[in-house]
Amino acid sequence: MVEMVSKKPAWLAKLKAYEKPDLRRSLWQLANTLIPYFLLWGIMVVTVQRGLSYWITLLLAVPAALLLVRIFIFFHDCTHGSFFEQRWANALVGYLTGILTFTPYDEWKYTHGVHHSAVGNLDKRGVGDVWTATVEEYQAMPPLKRLGYRLYRHPLVMFGLGPAFVFLLANRLPRKGASKAATRSVHFTNLAIVAILVIAHFTIGLRTYIMVQLPIILLAALMGVWLFYVQHQFEGVYWARSAEWDQVRASLEGSSYYKLPKVLQWFSGNIGLHHIHHLRPRIPNYNLQRCYDEVPEVQGVRPLTLRESLRCLRMNLYDEANRRLISFADLRRQQAKA
């Protein structure tokens, strides 16, 4: 656990040096990701149209989905204004990568911004985050809502139906109260997807498009939701009420350092260094590792390994009295002892 720090420690200024985007690196990332993604996509089309085993297509969907996760990281950087120096360039690439990932740019930019401003704040949950109830809130729920919460937190829903619902359906509708820009981004993304479907119908065929795109987007959505989940749902995570909430602590202790194997770190665009990302969201993904290597103050966060992260699946409720996440089974044991 990182020691308690002030809201603005002096060393935090060191991180600003890593915020400047590098145009050549950004363009190279786009090239080394989009080119293999579209090549794989084209090969998958050939496997379908030549009647090869669909298992071959699904096998190819795995690396394609990993590349789509990486494309989403570029989209994510654009929403933070960190991928390019120019706002228009971030918006342009953000909209285009948003179409590829079925995510409206301005709408997601807003909800993700809210998430950044409220991470770890128990009084500001509900926008751009994973629904997490406290023990007291869960116990006060009526039976039907409690059942809904348990279903929501079930792995088959959280990482199966949930990602599919979010990326295929929820992202197609503007949020209630959304700004005009956010609403336009939803409609623009939807129209672009419809245009792609029409083009596919008159070229490769709608059936082929669905057989290729659907497994890619579903696998990528599952991976993306998993990454987002373990970034803020782990043992020892920091949560606090507004009166005592500290943004630096929320970044360092409320966001994980998910230490992945190098190949997965590449596909996930270094997003596992999430504590640094929350400290300075304007650091481009390709500068996060260098920042970690060169700034000792961010190295005190205990890494969350791939194996350890699997235990995060059982963390369902926040025990505010003991300041920790617990499982439904933990709650039953507590109630049995009471």
**Paired sense of beta strands 257-259 and 303-305, if any:** parallel
Angle at 226 between CA 97 and CA 101, to 5 degrees: 15
Angle at 289 between CA 20 and CA 163, to 5 degrees: 95
Judged against a pLDDT cut of 90, whether residue 335 lies above it is answered with no
Compute CA distances 301 → 19, 218, 319, whole Å. 21, 32, 22
**Residue at 267: amino acid letter:** F
Q: What pLDDT score was predicted for residue 155?
A: 94
Determine contact, residues 323/241, Cβ cutoff 8 Å.
Answer: no
- Lowest mean pLDDT segment, chosen from 4-8, 65-69, 85-89: 4-8
Residue 47: pLDDT band with limits 50, 70, 90: very high
Residue 2: pLDDT band with limits 50, 70, 90: very low
Judged against a pLDDT cut of 60, whether residue 5 lies above it is answered with no
Q: What pLDDT score was predicted for residue 7?
A: 58
φ, ψ for residue 207 (rounded to 5)?
-60, -45
Q: What is the pLDDT of residues 212-271, one digit of tens each?
A: 999 999 999 999 999 999 999 999 999 999 999 999 999 999 999 999 999 999 999 999
Residue 4: pLDDT band with limits 50, 70, 90: very low
Q: Measured between alpha carbons, how far is 60 from 47 in angstroms, rounded to an integer?
A: 10
- Per the structure block, which two tokens stand in for 9? 């420690």
Judged against a pLDDT cut of 60, whether residue 6 lies above it is answered with no
Average pLDDT over the chain, rounded to an integer: 95
Q: What is the pLDDT of residues 278-292, one digit of tens each?
A: 999 999 999 999 999
pTM: 0.94
Q: What is the pLDDT of residues 291-310, one digit of tens each?
A: 999 999 999 999 999 999 99
Q: What pLDDT score was predicted for residue 336?
A: 85
Q: What pLDDT score was predicted for residue 150?
A: 96
Domain ranges of the chain: 23-337
Query: Which residues does residue 325 pair with via DSSP β-bridges, in sequence order?
Result: 318
